Amino acid sequence: MESAMSRGERLRQALKDKNWSIDEFSRRSNVSHTTLHKFAAGRDVRLSTVERIAHSLGVSVSWLVFGVEVQKMKRCQALRVIGNPLNPELVTFVEDVRRSCPELPIVFTLSEDFGPMAFLAGALQRVSGMVS
């Protein structure tokens, strides 16, 4: 199965990609250390703060919070969701999007670290759980 990164791990990865320390990022984003640690620990912070963190890092809010990369597909006007479609957080996220934009088709693309065999194994586990 896919090893999902936590919010804190995604934050650390984005900081590493930028070659920034937490101190430097705190200054650049104007977000306190306390708030950054709360966010990394999975505790609630204001949406405007999450947006500021994501924008400062050059990543999407959906990736930073849920580990989901979302792209609007130009040709067919659909939303492309990259990730594990069996991940409960991802399913919740997609359900929220569907409620907001019911006319927008959603296309799943498996993330590179979540291969077809893992997807099939997860699907079989889910189906067998429903049957028993």
The residue with greater pLDDT, 60 or 113, is 60
| Residue 20 vs residue 123, higher pLDDT | 20
Q: For position 24, what pLDDT does the model report?
A: 92
Q: How confident is the model over 2-26, as pLDDT tens digits? A: 447 888 999 999 999 999 999 999 9
Asked if the 7-65 domain carries CATH number 1.10.10.10, the reply is no
Give me the phi and psi of 80, to 5 degrees please: -100, 120
pLDDT at 36 over 90: yes
Residues of the chain with CATH 1.10.260.40: 7-65
Predicted TM-score (pTM) of this structure:
0.58
3-state secondary structure 101-124: CCCCCEEEECCCCCCHHHHHHHHH
Share the mean pLDDT of the chain.
76
